């Protein structure tokens, strides 16, 4: 017996509509604006990189020019062989790790409380915490300095770490709270039925599922702590405690006429945070938009 497979007639493809002149102009204008913004943002970093690989004379003559006498690697060698640079690098690492670890830990705990717990005054307390988004650290720098002095934390890295953690908490809690709330309550109920405690649910289920949001918060913390300049300048009077952004100021005082060395120092300061951002930027969009559950 011969069988015949049914055939399906190919549906006619929908003709593509030509792009209108108005839409084309809008696209051109959009990409022109984005290109301009990108150039403006990248111009300082590009200036530092081009200045660091050239001589001081070439940089002063043409800030955006290419090296004409070859790449001057000795600029970076002189900086990396300077013990003051490595001392500032160590301070930046301690400051960044301290702010990130403490900030992410506290913000995760607070976000868990505000997203999964029910208690009197929850909404009011969260609104009070959210008000911290309206006040940058620089606005409250005088009362912060008075409190740091009263606590005896002048010339101490903790005098920089604790205020930075405090002012980073509102934004971090808002991000993590949105992600935690996206996780269905049925999953939490199932964990409790299986004998999981509240702390166990937070540690073994919620935190692993919230890794994109935690990575986004950690990335923002690292970038902010690594580039912080004003608060360390105010709190740390001892040059031995200065992080890299203040180390540039110290280095400029020693080599004020050698702009190529200063640009190379700035380039080295930029490289670690750029590398870190490249590896973590894919988590930022997911973390800031609240995440997505699949299953």
Q: Say whether both 207 and 94 belong to one domain.
A: yes
Sign of the CA dihedral 200, 203, 204, 206? Answer: positive
Q: Say whether both 31 and 104 belong to one domain.
A: no
Question: Domain for residue 67, yes or no?
Answer: no
Question: Domain for residue 127, yes or no?
Answer: yes
Residue closest to 177 by CA, chosen among 122, 102, 98? 122
282 contacts 272 by C-beta, under 8 angstroms? no
- Alpha-carbon distance of 247 to 245, in angstroms, equals 5
Q: Say whether both 95 and 36 belong to one domain.
A: no
**pLDDT value at position 152?**
92
**pLDDT value at position 293?**
45
Number of domains in the chain: 2
**pLDDT value at position 292?**
47
pTM of the model: 0.82
Exposed e or buried b per residue across 131-158, where buried means at least 16 C-beta atoms within 10 angstroms of its C-beta: ebeeeebeeeeeebbeebeeeebeebbe
Q: Say whether both 190 and 235 belong to one domain.
A: yes
Question: Domain for residue 178, yes or no?
Answer: yes
Token pair of 51, please?
Answer: 């200045």
Distances (CA, A) of 265 to 11, 108, 141, 229: 63, 35, 28, 15
Residue 108 CB burial class (10 angstroms; 0-12, 13-18, ≥19): buried
Q: Is 281 left (phi over 0), alpha (psi -120 to 50) or beta?
A: alpha
Question: Domain for residue 6, yes or no?
Answer: no
Which helix (H) or strand (E) covers residue 37, if one does?
Answer: helix 21-52
Length of the chain: 295
Q: Say whether both 25 and 164 belong to one domain.
A: no
- Alpha-carbon distance of 269 to 267, in angstroms, equals 5
**pLDDT value at position 14?**
55
67 contacts 51 by C-beta, under 8 angstroms? no
Domain that holds residue 54: 21-61
CATH for 104? 1.10.3720.10
Exposed e or buried b per residue across 221-230, where buried means at least 16 C-beta atoms within 10 angstroms of its C-beta: bbbbbbebee
Query: Tens of pLDDT along the chain (295 residues)?
Result: 455 555 545 555 555 555 677 888 888 999 999 999 988 888 888 888 888 999 988 888 888 888 888 888 999 999 999 899 999 999 999 999 999 999 999 999 999 999 988 888 888 999 999 888 888 888 888 899 999 999 999 999 999 999 999 999 999 999 899 889 888 888 888 888 888 888 888 988 889 888 888 988 998 899 999 999 999 999 999 999 999 999 888 887 777 788 889 899 999 999 988 888 888 877 776 666 654 444 4
Question: Domain for residue 105, yes or no?
Answer: yes
Q: Say whether both 56 and 151 belong to one domain.
A: no
Token pair of 110, please?
Answer: 């607070």
**pLDDT value at position 295?**
40
Distances (CA, A) of 17 to 11, 14, 30: 18, 9, 21
Q: Say whether both 129 and 202 belong to one domain.
A: yes
Residue closest to 271 by CA, chosen among 40, 41, 45? 45
Q: Say whether both 42 and 88 belong to one domain.
A: no
């Amino acid at each position: 017996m011969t069988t015949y497979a049914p055939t399906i007639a190919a549906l006619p493809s929908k003709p593509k509509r030509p792009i209108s002149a108005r839409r084309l102009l809008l696209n051109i204008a959009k990409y022109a604006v984005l290109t301009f913004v990108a150039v403006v943002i990248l111009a300082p970093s590009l200036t530092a990189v081009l200045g660091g690989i050239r001589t001081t004379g070439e940089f002063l003559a043409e800030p955006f020019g290419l090296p004409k006498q070859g790449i001057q690697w000795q600029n970076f060698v002189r900086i990396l062989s300077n013990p003051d640079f490595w001392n500032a690098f160590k301070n930046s690492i301690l400051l960044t790790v301290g702010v990130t670890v403490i900030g992410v830990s506290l913000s995760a705990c607070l976000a868990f409380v505000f997203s999964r717990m029910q208690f009197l005054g929850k909404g009011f307390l969260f609104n009070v915490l959210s008000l911290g988004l309206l006040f940058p650290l620089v606005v409250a720098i005088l009362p912060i300095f008075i409190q740091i002095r009263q606590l005896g934390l002048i010339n101490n890295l903790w005098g920089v770490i604790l205020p930075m953690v405090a002012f980073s908490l509102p934004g971090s809690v808002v991000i993590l709270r949105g992600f935690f709330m996206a996780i269905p309550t049925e999953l939490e109920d199932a964990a409790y039925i299986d004998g999981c405690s509240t702390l166990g649910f937070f540690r073994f289920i919620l935190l692993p599922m919230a890794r994109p949001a935690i990575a986004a918060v950690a990335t923002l913390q690292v970038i902010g702590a690594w580039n912080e300049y004003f608060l360390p300048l105010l709190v740390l009077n001892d040059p031995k405690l200065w992080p890299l952004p203040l180390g540039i100021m110290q280095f400029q005082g020693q080599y004020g006429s050698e702009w190529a060395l200063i640009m190379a120092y700035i380039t080295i300061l930029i490289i670690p945070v750029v590398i870190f951002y490249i590896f973590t930027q894919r988590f930022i969009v997911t973390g800031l938009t609240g995440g997505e559950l699949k299953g």
